[in-house]
Amino acid sequence: MKWTIIVLLFTVAFAQDVDDEELALAEACDEELCKLPDCRCSSTDIPGGLQPRDTPQFVTVTFDDGVNVINIETYRRILYNRLNPNGCPAGTTFYVNHEYTNYQLINELYNQGYEIALHSVSHQTPQTYWAEATYEDMQREFGDQRIQMAHFANIPIEQLKGVRIPFLQLAGNNSFQVMKDSGLTYDCSWPTISYTNPGLWPYTLDYASIQDCPIPPCPSASIPGVWVQPMVGWLDLNGVACSMVDGCFWVPDRNDEEAWYRFIITNFERHYLNNRAPFGFYVHEWYISAYPAVNSADVLDWVKNPVPLDEYKQKPCRTFVQTSCPATTCPARAEHNGVSRYTYS
């Protein structure tokens, strides 16, 4: 394989030092002032005041980390050509970090209609790096990654909307401020254990959040317009909360498909039979075939403009701009600030 080395130029337009102390604390949410589509109080209320029976039960399927020649085989096998019950292609969101990622394969996933989102450049350890990350650290990890991803994978930059911080380790206000300043729309790194039954719906950070903070520090300032997609926890077989399915400890035997089906349905029904807050899960192909799976960004589009289920099902399938990525043009040619990055792995 031919290795292409791209020199990155960091575009640090402004090296402002933003400390939490300088930011005013967010105030309690005012439902009269905070209205859709741009503002929503943190709440378990269904958007638009809809009844549960009129509310789509979204299932968000997400995969984290690098995409490479090995794991792409699994994605091709279990995801490609899947349809939701309305005949539209099923969605998936890939939270991708730079290391060990092949950008031609990211372009392939994008052209299959999946959402590409950001999971940092470095994905480095220890976890305390993320807890203590400054605004500038997060700018390098996510603000710069957005530019890099758009460039190397040849994806329109406005299609790169979401962030998941490695280890689900929040960094207080910093990552959300970087999102706002970098044109990113939503974060999907923040677990909730307290708001699982009923589940917490996505909301903005204009006002103070009611969400519990299992992995501090959580944001405290008013950061208008950025969305939180809460990771509503699952419960494992002993009732212990887990943010990701592969993070659940007490799970059925891996070969017991029937037990796994019951395990997933039990968690699913906590959403479906209640306020239908979006149900997130990590993997399992036979489940994807049965329920409507969507991109994380699709959920936000609906929350901003909540229409009843019957109307939602009539909507045309999502469309996107195809951009090819042949070997001669992708990885793209970019010069970026003294750091060498491989675009294949």
- Name the residues that contact Zn ion, by CB under 5 A: 64-65, 166
Say if CB 312 and CB 50 are below 8 A apart. no
* Least distance (Å) between residue 102 CB and Zn ion: 17
* Nearest CB to Zn ion, comparing residues 117 and 294: 117
* Nearest CB to Zn ion, comparing residues 64 and 206: 64
* Least distance (Å) between residue 120 CB and Zn ion: 8
Q: Give 96's contacts (C-beta < 8 A, 6+ positions apart).
A: 65, 66, 67, 106, 116, 117, 118, 119, 149
* Residue closest to Zn ion (Cβ): 64
Instruction: Report the amino acid identity of residue 312.
Output: Y
* Nearest CB to Zn ion, comparing residues 167 and 320: 167
* Nearest CB to Zn ion, comparing residues 26 and 168: 168
* Least distance (Å) between residue 64 CB and Zn ion: 4
* Nearest CB to Zn ion, comparing residues 99 and 301: 99
* Nearest CB to Zn ion, comparing residues 90 and 96: 96
* Least distance (Å) between residue 65 CB and Zn ion: 5
What whole-number distance in Å separates Cα of residue 302 and Cα of residue 29?
A: 21
